[in-house]
Amino acid sequence: MSGRSFRWPVIAALAVMTMLIGATPPTSLAAPTGRQPGVVVEPSFIATECAGKPVRVAARWYFPPGRPTALVWLQHGFSRTAANLDILARSYANAGFLVVSPTLDSVNLGGCAVAYNIADNAAFARTIGGVFGSGRNTDSPLGASLLRARAAAGRPDVTMPYRMIFAGHSAGGEFVVVAADALRRADPVAYRRLAGLMLFDPVNSFFGRNFASAAAALGASRLPIRVIASQPSVSDNFGQGVSVLQETTRQRFLGSRLVTGIHIDAEGGSTDLIGELSGLAAPRPRNGRVLRALATGWSSDMVADTVTATYYPGGRYYDLLLDTRTVTTLSVR
């Protein structure tokens, strides 16, 4: 066989793989990649309380081009803001979700923060979980926030969806897990609206066992939980949060680890210098595209109670990710 006749099939095969997992997923599998027309973003605030005092939480609302299928609460991590998850939020909106992305303090003496550092933030997480549980009431803090945002967006057709996903990156992953378990215990009726959790390299706090106990309780309740993890590093507390989920949540399929992943892959092009310095690297665009494809696909399945085979082991897209060492599957212990 001549060198030329051998090279062309190899080149063709590589081109197909690049199309499938490199530049973008195939058209039918592609996740929106960010700033696409049709998504409207409006700032608002959520009036709530913490440590016995009224609090106004800044929030961004992302309106999908059509009527939303579900609500996604998208929570940033420590030392970050909603702006750092902008591309991910837009991808969710382009996939048909109404997204609200609050900005929380990172350090607060009263525990009104996204992480448990100088003070226990479990009470604040419980409060925010209740805010989402009552969100379908138009006079609730979340309902009022939506009314303000939709008026500014010119989207009177958008009402609060019945189903919701709690999603969080880094310390925001711990925060939404604790909030979800608090909602389960405090308001079982509202908890039934929660379709599942989507966690992006979640990080558990150095203090307390809020994350571990909440994760175990949610696992026992059979709430669907999906995780996209990076490689263990200082930025994610050496993957301890993911390990807790592997040991406690009893999922038949928990999720994936990006083989070349870093902690800020969920932020992608929305990150900043602080994010890059924390990981000593910039997010890889391909990892971001894969992360958004899997996250929106899994979230859509949780809402619809379906299984779109291509996003799971044995499916075409997922197995290509495995074959090309783009992801590995998280084991469940």
Which tokens go with 73? 């609460």
Give me the residues of the chain with pLDDT under 70, please: 1-37
Q: What pLDDT, on a 0 to 100 scale, did the predictor assign at position 16?
A: 37
Q: What pLDDT, on a 0 to 100 scale, did the predictor assign at position 19?
A: 37
Q: Provide, for the chain, the percentages of residues in helix, strand and coil under a 3-state DSSP scheme, each rounded to the nearest 5.
A: 45, 20, 40
Give, in degrees to the nearest 5, the angle at Cα 208 between 206 and 213: 115
In 3D, which of 76, 117, 279 has the Cα closest to residue 210?
A: 117
Q: What pLDDT, on a 0 to 100 scale, did the predictor assign at position 281?
A: 86
Q: What pLDDT, on a 0 to 100 scale, did the predictor assign at position 192?
A: 97
pTM of the model: 0.89
Which tokens go with 17? 């793989």
What's the CA gap between 171 and 179, in Å, rounded?
12
Total length of the chain: 333
In 3D, which of 108, 99, 112, 210 has the Cα closest to residue 149?
A: 99
